[in-house]
Structure 1
């Protein structure tokens, strides 16, 4: 490995939203709202200029709020297309949730919209709810610090992950849905298939017609139940291979950079780090590998869990994890890597003490990383610190997750968005949603407007983590419990953007309590 020469420590740790020091954006309550702009920006990706989107706040890409600080934001659309931003992990009033026409329309170019709601602490993010725009990197961290964060003697570092293509998102979606995307890592061969959807794909229009007939779509539930969690680490189950990746991206980014020129975060010898990792990728699951830096997983999706030691943890699209790292009392550099599941590509950043030798890390590993959590072993080890209070279940509903690579259509309960039947509940009810994945791809399922608790994995009760996005691997079952919130239409969808774009979305329709 060669020495990094392009940027030094001081430049690499400049005050930016994803840099080591994470400057606090301090606003007194009642002060002017924070200005946030959806705008274009240019990145240097492996020596090639790329024009992408972004969300620029006062301190750079993203926002950091202090404990108890309200989300008082004026969002301006500086793009030449309409857009709308979802505050992923927050629970605003439904009208501020950021989904096209549910109920608010897209922001027109030049338009400003104001937001004001109570924040929830933790590692969250914000992104366009138009899939092609999220694929153009219209996303950024949204960190709400807790009083404990302020009091703790530790350095905070954000690692914001993306997958990236120099091609237009519409072209990427066309290749994926047409079966010519080149995603050959542990995947089936894909040929032919459905035509891609066009337009915004999210505003309740343009839903792809037709029903899905996934590989397991006709299996009786009794037989299906016995198969949960039987997927091997190599992505095999019987004679069937799971589809790990359906697109080979041009680059994998950590804080907008690749390992050819990674961010180098200056740290202290023996320092304590809270690493906030956000998977903002469109279609890539990552393993986070801290290498020689031993870590403890202390939160997922912004919610505390009982600490779990280790140096490799995975997260699917839309998910977040917080790691506490205690560095050795020595001068050194510690790469923190994000490994693409089922493949050799990787990205990441480097923690380094002043004056330490920083060696180049190859963007391609010697061996493929395994498939992520095919047996839900990681999820089963997560235990919530603040579990939902015990109470009787008022309503239970099953959601079948299906789809196939050819034709490339993905469904919930056999229907694409626009042909869906809402999942219903009354405000205040304790509801259990049972996600049964009958397809050969994993699905990170995200519910707007609610936090839920994982309460059963493949039929086994657990006191699992509180989340807003749960990963359901192939041929597996995950049950989550929640208390239905504001009476409104809340989105419930897969956070794999090509799956979402081809219809894998429904709504959790909450009615007023009687």
Structure 2
């Protein structure tokens, strides 16, 4: 008995590092000295154990049974509750037929438990049990989700709630928001890449020529297409439902009049932002991404995918009050009802005015004439490490970004037609429409070496950096300094003397003619999301933006470190649904290397019409806003369209960490990177083969097809394509035996994917009478082809080809001209220069369902016909 009393405590002591996910015997214990906004915590504590079982299931949220993935039989997965200082031990057992994974989103933990398969954590094989063990060194609201393919969309997500040691006195409720589709997520991505309008039709988001004409917006529609942009949009996917805690509507009936509740709101959706509002009055934001902030009262808040906010609301009287989350494209919502009694619903947000968004986009582009939408500049600044005290200020980086986009002092305001909200000026000529625009629719950690001077530690105030150093990517010899003593474009500068240079700080808060503010007082993280439209409709309301977030503790980084500045241009092409950083998808990019002991500054330049919630694993970063030393700490930041956003963090870790857009379909289509620490051995990425295995998602192939069975013949199109390659087969035949078949192997050559080259073959068959025998026969000819394609303004594809006989041919084609919401038109013209022969065709179609349409066509070779088109 005495032996047992002696050995059992000894055994527990020896096992305690394993129970907390730490390594022994190699000097790699983490000190975890200080966490942003957290108190000093010990490395060990009460071991809290959870057992999670992942299994296939079927759900029915909308009346149609849908395959899904449940954890412990539920969607969302169970809440993992801890107290700061605990040690987590989580068993995950895989009862599905495929591999699974879990990433602990926002938790600071050893690299090997981060949960990104093939990067730092092994996949959990069918039938296997995985154990994640790590210390809980923070508090706040977080979540966990799969990082394997599309499993997050299918239900593998759940909340993590970590209480501070002192506890929270108010009542609280977890609210996990998510989006639900009845379609297989693989099919969803294929449909998006196929670029049909079906999801926009279902979301009432189509911008058509008929709609433009009826509302006086024809000029905006033409401007869009002249600039090779499909219709403006906010979201990519049509969802059958939005859920709160796995329900169309959830409830918390025990709340009574005068009581306050803290709602721990988690956006666990795959690709949706939500507008939050409360029927009982204002909401008070008290925490963002698990980090406490100075309380701020708001009427509306846009929560981006993967973000969390703690929001306190108070029931004003007895009754049932709605806390509503409306999808950012405002066609559906989900709710949590608080209290009981008479219902008080939150106001229904108006439908999105997409033409107003087009106008907002148009005005922003006019203010940034040198910016190429969807594409990084040719001279992307290389990552640069500045010696201590010599890094440019964040204000100067913002100024440089504006200048690179053409926002130079002395800009010609007469070229700007900016009917933005709050703008007052006479009508001016249309802006030039010559922008090159893509079709955008829019491991084991070496803990012994860790220096945990995390953001949020109290340091001495950092002196103002020198502001006259060479900026990364700037060539002062090419700058026209004569333009630099004038007002910033469109700034209201009545108080600014002529010829006075406006510094970054003096610029702060001034307003452009576009109605957009410059500098730190501009609304941040919400541009082109409908913010201005809602603000104009409700001028007395407070609508949240990042500039309202103020950390309760200073977050300034230590000044005694070198600073690495990395410019990241977020780009892509909506027509082919390819998303990139610095003109490269993950599969084609190198790691972004940083070094332990330096401060790292990421400068995001969003060159697209879409928002991108960027998430960095294993770190918190400062979001540089107008709060100075009290800038908020986050793990996910929404980079709004056309916005330059700066984040910075202390490089205190090691090994590889994932960094990506948290819109699932953007990440799977290339918008991601690996952040690697110099001199650190990787866990699973040992060579190029390992890297390629991890980064292959954006290289996957997809198929599409259509068959039109018409009265005058049959038309068929097949394609098999990936990121930059496409193999296609097109054919048409009449009922007399005449036919044409063409096959091509094509590669896109530029980042915008406007330009491509191909080789192929064409086989033509023509029925004709044999002069000698008098019998009908088919004369067949086979041609080898080579050609190039280029995407022209007005969404026209040009195709210049030559066959093996040297015969040159030019084709111009425009498909899917949106006449109304479901009615489309198309046109094609082809001219053979050697034969001096022209062919042409006109078509129209009405989209009845996702996979079929009624069509009519006139073809110069096949005549007039009509019938059904099947679309896959």
TM range (shorter): 0.7 to 0.9
| Aligned counterpart, 2:70 | 54
1: CA distance, partners of 2:150 / 2:187: 10
Q: Quick check: 2:55–2:73 contact (8 Å CA) kept in 1?
A: no
| Aligned counterpart, 2:155 | 137
3-state SS of paired residue (2:586): coil
| Aligned counterpart, 1:168 | 184
1:357 matches 2:342: yes
Q: Deviations over 1:393-437 (max 9, x none)?
A: 521111110012111100111111121122221112111111110
1:248 matches 2:238: yes
2: CA distance, partners of 1:242 / 1:299: 32
| Aligned counterpart, 1:502 | 669
Aligned pairs for 1:215-234 within 5 A: none
Q: Quick check: 1:56–1:62 contact (8 Å CA) kept in 2?
A: no
1:411 matches 2:580: yes
Which of 313, 323, 345 is the equivalent residue of 2:311? Answer: 323
| Aligned counterpart, 1:298 | 286
1:463/1:186 CA distance change after superposition, 3 Å: farther
Q: Deviations over 1:314-348 (max 9, x none)?
A: 111111111012222x3211100001113231111
1:283 matches 2:301: no
Q: Deviations over 1:3-48 (max 9, x none)?
A: xxxxxxxxxxxxxxxxxxxxxxxxx955573212223344441344
Which of 383, 386, 390 is the equivalent residue of 2:550? Answer: 383
Q: Whose helix fraction is larger, Structure 1's or Structure 2's?
A: 2
Aligned pairs for 1:447-458 within 5 A: 447-456=616-625
1: CA distance, partners of 2:126 / 2:318: 50
1:32/1:466 CA distance change after superposition, 3 Å: closer
| Aligned counterpart, 1:332 | 319
Q: Quick check: 1:436–1:475 contact (8 Å CA) kept in 2?
A: yes
Deviates more, 1:55-64 or 1:390-399: 55-64
1:422/1:303 CA distance change after superposition, 3 Å: same
1:118/1:32 CA distance change after superposition, 3 Å: closer
Q: Deviations over 1:271-305 (max 9, x none)?
A: 12010111111111101111224321011111111
1:454/1:341 CA distance change after superposition, 3 Å: same
Q: Quick check: 1:257–1:263 contact (8 Å CA) kept in 2?
A: no
3-state SS of paired residue (2:624): strand
| Aligned counterpart, 1:220 | none
2: CA distance, partners of 1:477 / 1:462: 19
| Aligned counterpart, 1:374 | 527
1:292/1:269 CA distance change after superposition, 3 Å: closer
| Aligned counterpart, 2:96 | 79
1:48/1:306 CA distance change after superposition, 3 Å: same
Deviates more, 1:493-502 or 1:463-472: 463-472
1:326/1:32 CA distance change after superposition, 3 Å: closer
| Aligned counterpart, 2:424 | none
Between structure 1 and structure 2, the one with the greater Rg is: 2
| Aligned counterpart, 2:122 | 105
1: CA distance, partners of 2:665 / 2:258: 43
3-state SS of paired residue (1:182): helix
Q: Quick check: 2:278–2:321 contact (8 Å CA) kept in 1?
A: yes
| Aligned counterpart, 1:396 | 565
1:409/1:352 CA distance change after superposition, 3 Å: same
3-state SS of paired residue (1:418): helix
The CA deviation at 1:449 is 0.6
1: CA distance, partners of 2:300 / 2:572: 30
2: CA distance, partners of 1:154 / 1:456: 30
1:29/1:79 CA distance change after superposition, 3 Å: farther
1:473 matches 2:648: no
Q: Quick check: 1:272–1:324 contact (8 Å CA) kept in 2?
A: yes
CA RMSD of aligned residues (A): 2.9
1:147 matches 2:165: yes
The CA deviation at 1:386 is 2.7
1:166/1:406 CA distance change after superposition, 3 Å: same
The CA deviation at 1:312 is 1.4
Which of 171, 185, 195 is the equivalent residue of 1:179? Answer: 195
Number of residues of Structure 1 aligned to a counterpart in Structure 2: 429
The CA deviation at 1:135 is 1.0
Q: Deviations over 1:38-73 (max 9, x none)?
A: 233444413444442233399962311123222221
Q: Deviations over 1:344-365 (max 9, x none)?
A: 3111110014xx1347x69x94
Which of 100, 107, 122 is the equivalent residue of 2:140? Answer: 122
3-state SS of paired residue (1:499): helix
1: CA distance, partners of 2:557 / 2:583: 32
Which of 595, 604, 623 is the equivalent residue of 1:435? Answer: 604
1: CA distance, partners of 2:647 / 2:349: 38
Larger relative CO (CA 8 A, sep 6+): 1 or 2? 1
Q: Quick check: 1:417–1:503 contact (8 Å CA) kept in 2?
A: yes
Where do 4+ consecutive residues of structure 1 move more than 4 Å?
A: 28-32, 57-60, 184-190, 238-242, 369-372, 460-463
Which of 338, 345, 356 is the equivalent residue of 2:332? Answer: 345
Question: Which ranges in structure 2 are unaligned for 5 or more consecutive residues?
Answer: 1-43, 209-223, 358-524, 532-543, 681-872
1:429/1:186 CA distance change after superposition, 3 Å: farther
1:444 matches 2:431: no
Q: TM-score, normalised by structure 2?
A: 0.46
Q: Quick check: 1:79–1:109 contact (8 Å CA) kept in 2?
A: yes
| Aligned counterpart, 1:217 | none
3-state SS of paired residue (1:76): strand
Q: Deviations over 1:478-511 (max 9, x none)?
A: 1001011321111010000110111111011122
Q: Quick check: 1:158–1:275 contact (8 Å CA) kept in 2?
A: yes
3-state SS of paired residue (1:64): strand
Question: Which ranges in structure 1 are unaligned for 5 or more consecutive residues?
Answer: 1-27, 191-235
